[in-house]
Structure 1
Amino acid sequence: MNINEAISGRRSIREYTTQAVDEQLIQRLINAAIQAPSAVNQQPWTFTVIRDQGVLDRISRGAKAHMLATMPAGTQSEHFHSVLNDADFQIFYQAPVLILISGSSQGQWMVEDCALAAENLMLAAYAEGLGSCWIGFAQRFLDTPEGKSLLGLPAEWLPVAPIILGHPKSVPAPVQHNPAQIRWIG
């Protein structure tokens, strides 16, 4: 698969089979992630792999409560309140794997560096036949003392990219992308 096929074919997957993801495959995806560029070659990322559904359920409950308590009113808050108040909704969609990419050093561009690693990981997952999705609902909670404690993360680490992985049950149709807004100067 060439890179353009991976870029245009990757989707955010929210339905997974129960099939486990092989540890060697997870390692290959992390190896793809660390090929990302980073400012001043700092490589500030760390990877926490969670495959325990009990831990994922505890994080989901904590993240839902945290989001409900801290979510500002806005255009989608009514929808989010409905989803987050649903006791049966698990924010990780019962995916078999969560890979949390955190920044371990406080460089000026650490968040951007970790996001670049996350994109590499998601494109590599797609090329391997896996689905992935960045779970924004988990980000703020995982940066709280309670969230870090659940995963044993050091206090100075900043959770940046919670990425779920698994074998997709189905793949959503492509979404329509708006044309690029380009300003040419010169």
Structure 2
Amino acid sequence: MKRISVFCGSSMGASAEYEKEARALGKLLAEKGIGVVYGGASVGLMGAVADGAMEAGGEVIGIMPKLLAKREVTHNNLTDLHIVNTMHERKAMMAHLSDGFISLPGGAGTMEEFFEVFTWAMIGEHKKPCGLLNINDYYTPLLTFFDHMVEEKFLKEESRKIVIVESDAAVMLEKFIKIENEQAL
């Protein structure tokens, strides 16, 4: 596993735990020799993930659409920063550069990024692991909704099982590596 895309908010959220865990995820990935691919901002949880990885000597690749580069604070100290034309290009590049996807807490943009790669996995476009890091039970209401979708026959149980949910980043990363190793056989 060379790189993981991290989807997360451009704000810190309501709990200090979000920033702490975002920074810890970046550090953990760097310590394991796994690069971070993310949205390219220096603010919010995005900045915390990048800072945690860079402080631990990791590779951090940011991908920022031009429109957001004008509004958000672009991180200037990354291993690499790509400025792309559209959000579509951003997501495609993130997917191309990554071997898995982890979503931290975030808003509509985070959800949109997660759901796109989750949908791609469901239809067989990739077999890369997709995870929700459930810090402070942030994703518990979404998980309840997933279960409701299964009950109402709008989501297949095998598709529901694609989503790896953990509250501990190290446990999630172990599962990601196990999936990658099984696929390599």
TM-score where L is the length of structure 2:
0.25
Larger RCO, structures 1/2 (Cα 8 Å, 6+ apart): 1
Specify which structure has the higher proportion of helix: 2
TM-score where L is the length of structure 1:
0.25
